[in-house]
Amino acid sequence: MGALIFFLGVAPVPCAVQQSTRVVGQVNLPSGATETGGVSVNIYTSSRNLVDSTVTDTRGHFYFMGVPTGDYRLVVSKPGHLTVEQELKVSYGVPEQGVTVFLTPQSTRTMGEGNATVTAAELALPSKVRKEFEDAKKAVKKEEYDAAIRHLKAVTEAEPQFALGFEVLGVACLRARKESEAEQAFERALKLEPKQSECYIQMGLLRYDQRRYDESKDFLKSGLAIEPNSWFGHFQLGLTYFALKDYSNSADEFHRAEELDPDFAEVHIRLANVYLRCGNPAMAFAEFESYLKKDPKGRFAAQVRETLGEMRNAGTKPPPS
The model carries a pTM of: 0.65
**pLDDT computed for residue 251 by the predictor:** 96
Number of Cβ within a 10 Å radius of residue 302: 12
pLDDT in tens, 224-253: 999 999 999 999 999 999 999 999 999 999
State mean pLDDT over 285-305: 90
Triad 11, 96, 88: Cα angle to 5°: 55
pLDDT greater than 60 at residue 275: yes
**Is residue 270 a contact partner of residue 4, using CB atoms and an 8 Å limit?**
yes
CATH number attached to the domain at 23-102? 2.60.40.10
3-class secondary-structure state, position 206: helix
- Between 174 and 107, name the one with better pLDDT: 174
The answer to whether domain 23-102 and domain 109-194 are alike in fold is: no
Q: Which residue has the higher pLDDT, 7 or 80?
A: 80
Fold for the domain defined by 109-194: 1.25.40
pLDDT band per the 50, 70, 90 thresholds, residue 3: low
Q: Where are the domains of the chain?
A: 23-102, 109-194, 227-313
Percent of the chain scoring above 90 in pLDDT: 42
Band of residue 34 on the pLDDT scale cut at 50, 70, 90: low
Contact 98, 310 (CB under 8 A): no
Question: Hey, what CATH topology would domain 227-313 get?
Answer: 1.25.40
79-100 residue pLDDT tens: 767 777 788 888 877 888 888 8
Per-residue pLDDT reduced to its tens digit, 196-216: 888 999 999 999 888 899 999
Q: State the DSSP H helix or E strand holding residue 257, giving kind and residue range, or none if neither.
A: helix 247-260
Residue 11, pLDDT > 60, answer: no
Average pLDDT over the chain, rounded to whole? 83
pLDDT of 134-144, one tens digit each? Answer: 999 888 888 89
Q: CA 181: distance to chain centroid?
A: 20
Distance in angstroms (rounded) separating the CA atoms of residues 299 and 295: 8
Instruction: Output the pLDDT for position 19.
Output: 62
